Chains A and B, each alone.
Chain A
Amino acid sequence: QQPVQSPQAVILREGEDAVINCSSSKALYSVHWYRQKHGEAPVFLMILLKGGEQKGHEKISASFNEKKQQSSLYLTASQLSYSGTYFCGTVNQAGTALIFGKGTTLSVSS
């Protein structure tokens, strides 16, 4: 039931774009995205609901493809502050508790 994230790690230079994917084998009701800086607590970024539209947060946006049971997080014109580990969490249509993927580590350098 744990969602699968890809890639495991991304290395970028400032200004470059990245896409992080999250997929599930179960039909999904919602997808949640979090970012965690090293040694800090995960911070909520956004939630995508079934039937909802693409969401955005600064230069970070996400989409949710219900048919494919996938979500993608788009980071455009990356900044140094975007570095961290990104986790997706999924809730399946049975309404079970949020389950987190293993995370994708993003490193942005100048």
Chain B
Amino acid sequence: DSGVTQTPKHLITATGQRVTLRCSPRSGDLSVYWYQQSLDQGLQFLIQYYNGEERAKGNILERFSAQQFPDLHSELNLSSLELGDSALYFCASSVDESETQYFGPGTRLLVL
């Protein structure tokens, strides 16, 4: 158990819908990262927050957005969902940006 929690574990929804994925980092970690992993693909970095502020953006679509709240938990919002958005979404946290990242168990999203 890495100490990072993600909810929900599984999510099934329809195209065009909007969903919110939630992540609680390890205690003491200020940095939160979101990754997308499609079938047999590598980890695609989406976005990073550090202590409530956006720090880096990767290949994140405009339909996706995220935020980190004062209690440091983070939410990833996915809207106008398409079939291709079906993937495993991981959240990771670290004490600092260049430090080891600890991954949550992931949220498996299936868009039908």
Contact = CB atoms under 8 A, between A and B. Distances in A.
Nearest to A99: B45
A32 to B, nearest CB: 6
A91 B98 contact: yes
Interface in A35-69: 39-44, 47
Interface in B74-99: 88, 90, 94, 97-99
B104 A41 contact: yes
A96 B97 contact: yes
Contacts of A23: none
Specify which of A32, A42, A43, A95 lies most central, judged by the most chain B CB atoms within 10 Å of its CB. Answer: A42
A84 interface: no
A97 B48 contact: yes
Interface string B55-89: 11000000000000000000000000000000010
Nearest to B103: A41
Contacts of A74: none
Nearest to B6: A41
A30 interface: yes
Given A29-B98, A97-B98, A42 B43 contact: yes
B7 interface: no
A97 B43 contact: no
A47 B96 CA distance: 14
A43 B104 CA distance: 10
Interface string A69-110: 000000000000000000101010001111111110000000
Contact of A30 (B48, B94, B98, B104): B98
B97 A95 contact: yes
A95 to B, nearest CB: 5
Given A87-B43, A103-B42, A41 B106 contact: yes
